[in-house]
Amino acid sequence: MLVFTNYFVFLHHQYEYKMKKILFIMIAIAAVLSSCNDYETYGDKKEKERNAIAKFISDSSIVVISEDQFNQQNYTTNLTRNEYVKLDKSGVYMQIVREGCGTMLQDGESTKLVCRFSEFSILDDTTTVCNNDVNLAIYGKSVVGMPDIIQVSRSSGSYTASFESGVMYTAYGSASVPAGWLVPLSYIKVGRPQSATDQNAKVRLIVPHSQGHATASSNVAPYYYEITYQRES
């Protein structure tokens, strides 16, 4: 009788062991399936970006105009209507606040530009970096004393540029200038004010990740910018 009892105890333990093993496998499968459901594809992230830009445009009461209308308006955006032109090639939305003084960058020309800017993360709904706020500092130094200096060249209608110094260069640790920053150079003048009526060029931009810095690109994140441009000398 004792033999049978021990045998049944053995079978019971074996049954418990197998059930625990099955339960463990089921939990592991559920965890894998859950992680798969949480995974965002590049397509998912692009859709999230498009939705965030659309919401930002709506919340900011922005009127988007076509390139054709922009051309018909002599390459201007109506500030009263809060117009932004969507540039099809880059996907950048641009508002020209001030055309600027001086001359446009000429083909074959290289120069240094001084840029003041603020950068706003559309996804995070917060200002990330800027160099035009007297109340902000980076590494103990006021940002207004750190204008971004860009070495820029134009060749066959295309622009290349790199940061030499400034807040963007310091914050992101890269000399690479976001492509979106160069888009306005085809439409604005970059000079230095010589009189009380002269003003630096100023634009507002919505820059998709494909035209942004490395952080924007890796996170598929759009940014909003306000930027002024002037020649260093």
pLDDT tens sequence across 172-227: 999 999 999 999 999 999 999 999 999 999 999 999 999 999 999 999 999 999 99
Q: What is the CA radius of gyration of the chain?
A: 28
Asked if residue 17 has pLDDT above 70, the reply is no
- What's the mean per-residue pLDDT of the chain? 88
Give the whole-angstrom CA distance, residue 76 versus residue 71.
Answer: 8
CATH architecture under which domain 44-231 falls: Roll (3.10)
Q: Quick one: average pLDDT of 50-62?
A: 98
Kindly report the pTM of this predicted structure. Answer: 0.83
- Give the residue extent of every domain in the chain: 1-39, 44-231
For residue 3, how many other CB atoms are within 10 A of its CB? 7
Residue 224 C-beta-side C-alpha neighbours within 13 Å: 19
pLDDT of amino acid 21: 57
Asked if residue 31 has pLDDT above 80, the reply is no
Contact 98, 227 (CB under 8 A): no
